[in-house]
Amino acid sequence: MTDTTTDPTRSTAADPDALAAYEAWHRARLAAVTSPFGSLALIQTTWLEPGREVSDLEALEGQPDTVQLTRIERISLETGEPEHGYRLWDSASPKNRAFEDIEVYPYAPEWILQGRFERVGDDRVIPFEHIADAGRTRELPVPGDIVVEIEGEEVRLSAFADGDRLQLVFADATTGRESYAPSRFLFLPRPDGDGPVTLDFTRAVVPPCGFSDWMNCPLPPAGNRLAAAVRAGERRVVYRDEA
């Protein structure tokens, strides 16, 4: 049986400081996803037709007092123009009430890998499919490639720009079997140019769409689908009715 657990300290790793940091990271993740604007709280995403305006009062009509609203924007796949919409968040959502834990793999320092970033430029974009876009793609900026050796094989990964970070969307041999499908996310600092990077897969996370059906997450491109089984970081979301 695969060794997975909701206790992040269950590990053969000898470094107590690293274990303590892993446990603190896990606690911080639990606090984030259960916060008033955490992924578990998202109960609705609405995109408005061009020219239509909806007031906060109208959008919140009939909702309980626990519901809050935020405004959102994206680029339309059909027109290439900005689309506007809103999201409703409920800290007392059914998923928040049923949430128990994020199951994690035991701390696995062997999955802290050293690679290198090869910068291409801010103007390069790569099409990424998204989970709710019915096979259509959205172009995301990928300013360079991450080259890293995984279990003896050199792979070249595409991570898109997310402010001062890079966001790696990946799948591996555990995806859909042991860990969340279709992917997990890994974030790392965005380098200024070519140079070494650390891929700490012990900080791999279940994406927001793993907590709410109203999230639209990017899917891993072909080059980010790993043959190896990355048994590190978060595995899946656990709800009380699954216990």
Chain-centroid distance of CA 235 in Å reads 12
Give the contacts of 241 (CB within 8 A, at least 6 positions apart): 98
Percent of the chain's residues with pLDDT above 70: 93
Length of the chain: 243
What distance in Å separates the CA atoms of residue 98 and residue 240, rounded to the nearest whole number?
5
Between 57-66, 113-122, 125-134, the lowest mean confidence (pLDDT) is in 125-134
What distance in Å separates the CA atoms of residue 235 and residue 243, rounded to the nearest whole number?
16
- What residue type is assigned to position 237 of the chain? V
Domain ranges of the chain: 100-242
In the block, residue with structure tokens 């140019």: 193
DSSP bridge pairs for 85:
47, 72
pLDDT at 241: 75
pLDDT at 7: 59
pLDDT at 76: 79
pLDDT at 9: 47
* pLDDT band, very low/low/confident/very high, at 2 (cuts 50, 70, 90): very low
Query: DSSP character for 144?
Result: E
* pLDDT band, very low/low/confident/very high, at 127 (cuts 50, 70, 90): confident
What distance in Å separates the CA atoms of residue 186 and residue 63, rounded to the nearest whole number?
35
* pLDDT band, very low/low/confident/very high, at 243 (cuts 50, 70, 90): very low
pLDDT at 123: 77
Sheet strands side by side (includes 184-189):
184-189, 165-170, 153-162, 144-150, 112-119, 195-200
